[in-house]
Chains A and B, each alone.
Chain A
Amino acid sequence: MNAPPKLPSVGMLIYFAICALALVWPGALLANRIEPLVMGLPFFIFWYVAWVFALFVGLVIAYRRESMEEADDD
């Protein structure tokens, strides 16, 4: 029998959903402007760079939490 893996916690799923909504309609509507330039990039482009980083941070946290839970299980 193949037990399915544990899904990420509800908090993580919400975080993933926020990241997803930020990158498409309607979230990206908030950022649809040129000013201010951040790190030389127009704001709309910077928005995407920033959310990719936010996703990276979220995945690091998810990974660490899962590692700790597995350590507890052992």
Chain B
Amino acid sequence: MTDSLLITGITLGYLLVVLAVGLRARRGQGSSLEGYVAGGRHMGLLVLFFILGAEIFSAFAFLGAPGWAYSKGAPALYIIAYLALAVIVWWLIAPYISRLGRRHGFLTQAEFLTACYPTRGNLLGLFIGIVSVLAMIPYLTIQIAGAGMLFEAATSGTIPFWLGSLLACGVVAAYVYASGLQGIGWTNLLQGVMMVIVAWFLGLATADQFFGGVGEMFREIQREAPEYLTMPGASGMGWGAFSTAILVSALGCVMWPHIFMKFYSARSERTLKRVFVLYPLYSYLLIPLLIIGFAGVVLLKDRPLDSPDQVLLTLVVEMADFPAWLIGLALSGALAAAMSTAANLAHTSATILIRDVGQHLPSLRGMDDGKALRLTRYGVVVVSLAAYLLALVNPGSLVALLLGAYGIVVQLLPMLLGALFWRRASRIGAFAGLASGAVLTLYFQFSGSTPFDWHAGFCGLVVNALVFVGVSLSVSPVTQHTPAEALGPQP
């Protein structure tokens, strides 16, 4: 009992520190929408690095990733592979997007795409806005639910699920409301450092305590369950499924609105490039977490877990002989991963709701900057509250909604690349590609089987790109400029 009080105390202390840092970041900030949403397009190397890190490393890093290593083995490496490849995609397009955003005043992904492919009544913007929010709210819900689960497990129920998720959600909503991207930046820096330290310490300490070292641990797995250490892993993930999952995740990563919109916030294109140079090293954060999952392969051989996502909590909280203060810090680190992602999701969803969706309401048309800022802040609270309620209800369709909506968002990639680099990119081709890619992805996603066992989104992207190129070649003449080059001055 005293143990769980100590754990609770340490974790609450950590939440207070995060809250204080997040609220302090408000100082010296102007009150413009651009400041709130994009940090005045003035975010520097260190903060941007940790923001992009926090966005990628969510509750999944501490729960799902070790769960993959524990239940499947080697296929879990897909996460490291896709992160590395995602950086290449960023490197190629992000500086250009950042430049266009600065020149034309874009703050959202939809604004950029609708400027390149204009539609009557801006229907494309409305569509992208709605689908993005439909993808992001379930994602946010998963972070908040993850935080609640971590709290409950690590404090042995002293803090129940509903309270743990409320605390995490409340802290995040408070500092995002008050400080916008500045608040997210400084707290992500703090939480990122916390995550890295905790992950490495836990990974090495777990291997050391149970096996006497990482090498010894893998030797033991090699003797007991060698199938976990190479492809196709324990559950038989084929090369086709593995490779296409990596490719579609790497390509799709740039299309997550909360990542895309951060390109606008960079101080300069050089800053962005510096972030990307360092970024691959961030993926090493996953190594110790995968090690914990692999440890579970041997340690939990006789009593397999019902839910693989519990492997880290089971080993660290129940089986390892760690002191209570250490478990408190471990919980704080895992919470950091969930909360730092949640902050970005709430902030981005609210921005999209107001900028892309809200402007279609007659009463909000042509609102001024101050009103937009106010509404965006309210949006943060509304979105957080909605996600918290969803976490309590935990509808079974949540993951399906996330996969379905995100599957459509990824299909915006060919038209984005076309807008940036292809002179013959045509509007009709882009829409035909988007429609066929989205329909096909949804069909494969929910029918459960794909050709060659490829990733559903990958099949959609291939067809999407072929339709886009085919239609564009057949309808549009060669022009002087790509759609992005042809953008006029800001209206």
Measured CB to CB, the residues of A under 8 A from B are: 1-5, 7-8, 16, 19-20, 23-25, 28-29, 32-34, 37, 39-42, 44-45, 48-49, 51-53, 55-56, 59-60, 62-63, 66-67
**Residue B273 CB within 8 A of the other chain:** yes
Q: List 17 A-B contacts (CB under 8 A).
A: A1-B486, A2-B487, A4-B96, A5-B95, A8-B92, A19-B84, A24-B242, A24-B247, A25-B239, A40-B218, A41-B214, A42-B229, A44-B74, A45-B290, A52-B281, A55-B88, A59-B277
- CB-CB < 8 A to A53: which residues of B? 280
Please tell me if the beta carbons of A37 and B218 are within 8 angstroms of each other in the complex: yes
Please tell me if the beta carbons of A49 and B284 are within 8 angstroms of each other in the complex: yes
**Residue B222 CB within 8 A of the other chain:** yes
Please tell me if the beta carbons of A48 and B80 are within 8 angstroms of each other in the complex: yes
- CB-CB < 8 A to A40: which residues of B? 213-218
Please tell me if the beta carbons of B485 and A2 are within 8 angstroms of each other in the complex: yes
- CB-CB < 8 A to B230: which residues of A? 32-34, 42, 44
Measured CB to CB, the residues of B under 8 A from A are: 74, 77, 80-81, 84-85, 87-88, 91-92, 95-96, 99-100, 103, 213-219, 222, 226, 229-231, 239-240, 242-243, 246-247, 269-270, 273-274, 276-278, 280-281, 283-284, 287, 290, 420-421, 481-482, 484-487
Task: Give, as a whole number of angstroms, the nearest-CB distance from A5 to chain B.
Answer: 5
Q: Which of A2, A33, A62 contacts B484 (CB 8 A)?
A: A2
Please tell me if the beta carbons of A2 and B80 are within 8 angstroms of each other in the complex: no
Please tell me if the beta carbons of B281 and A56 are within 8 angstroms of each other in the complex: yes
Task: Give, as a whole number of angstroms, the nearest-CB distance from A24 to chain B.
Answer: 4
Please tell me if the beta carbons of A25 and B243 are within 8 angstroms of each other in the complex: yes
Please tell me if the beta carbons of A41 and B218 are within 8 angstroms of each other in the complex: yes
Please tell me if the beta carbons of B485 and A1 are within 8 angstroms of each other in the complex: yes
Report the separation of the CA atoms of residues A49 and B83 in the bound assembly, to the nearest whole angstrom: 12
- CB-CB < 8 A to B240: which residues of A? 25
- CB-CB < 8 A to B96: which residues of A? 4-5
Task: Give, as a whole number of angstroms, the nearest-CB distance from A34 to chain B.
Answer: 5
- CB-CB < 8 A to A51: which residues of B? 84
Beyond contacts A2-B103, A49-B284: 11 other A-B pairs, Cβ-Cβ < 8 A, are A1-B485, A20-B85, A20-B88, A23-B246, A25-B240, A28-B239, A34-B229, A37-B215, A44-B231, A52-B84, A67-B270
Q: In this complex, what residue of A is CB-closest to B421?
A: A4
- CB-CB < 8 A to A16: which residues of B? 88, 91
- CB-CB < 8 A to B103: which residues of A? 2
Q: In this complex, what residue of B is CB-closest to A16?
A: B88
- CB-CB < 8 A to A60: which residues of B? 277
Please tell me if the beta carbons of B84 and A45 are within 8 angstroms of each other in the complex: no
Q: Which of A24, A34, A59 contacts B226 (CB 8 A)?
A: A34
Report the separation of the CA atoms of residues A19 and B45 in the bound assembly, to the nearest whole angstrom: 25
Q: In this complex, what residue of B is CB-closest to A5?
A: B96
| Known contacts A24-B246, A44-B231, A66-B273; is-contact A52 B80 (Cβ 8 Å) | yes
Report the separation of the CA atoms of residues A4 and B276 in the bound assembly, to the nearest whole angstrom: 19
Please tell me if the beta carbons of B85 and A23 are within 8 angstroms of each other in the complex: yes
Please tell me if the beta carbons of B276 and A59 are within 8 angstroms of each other in the complex: yes
Report the separation of the CA atoms of residues A12 and B422 in the bound assembly, to the nearest whole angstrom: 21
- CB-CB < 8 A to A56: which residues of B? 277-278, 280-281
| Known contacts A16-B88, A63-B274, A63-B277; is-contact A2 B215 (Cβ 8 Å) | no
- CB-CB < 8 A to A44: which residues of B? 74, 77, 229-231
Report the separation of the CA atoms of residues A49 and B3 in the bound assembly, to the nearest whole angstrom: 37
Report the separation of the CA atoms of residues A67 and B91 in the bound assembly, to the nearest whole angstrom: 14
Report the separation of the CA atoms of residues A24 and B81 in the bound assembly, to the nearest whole angstrom: 8
- CB-CB < 8 A to B270: which residues of A? 67
Please tell me if the beta carbons of A7 and B92 are within 8 angstroms of each other in the complex: yes
Q: In this complex, what residue of A is CB-closest to B74?
A: A44
Report the separation of the CA atoms of residues A34 and B226 in the bound assembly, to the nearest whole angstrom: 8
Query: Closest 5 CB pairs between A and B?
Result: A40-B215, A24-B243, A40-B214, A23-B81, A25-B239
Task: Give, as a whole number of angstroms, the nearest-CB distance from A42 to chain B.
Answer: 4
Report the separation of the CA atoms of residues A48 and B270 in the bound assembly, to the nearest whole angstrom: 28
Report the separation of the CA atoms of residues A37 and B294 in the bound assembly, to the nearest whole angstrom: 15
Task: Give, as a whole number of angstroms, the nearest-CB distance from A45 to chain B.
Answer: 7
- CB-CB < 8 A to B216: which residues of A? 40
Q: In this complex, what residue of A is CB-closest to B270?
A: A67
- CB-CB < 8 A to B231: which residues of A? 28, 32, 44
Report the separation of the CA atoms of residues A20 and B240 in the bound assembly, to the nearest whole angstrom: 15
Task: Give, as a whole number of angstroms, the nearest-CB distance from B415 to chain A.
Answer: 16
Q: In this complex, what residue of A is CB-closest to B221?
A: A42
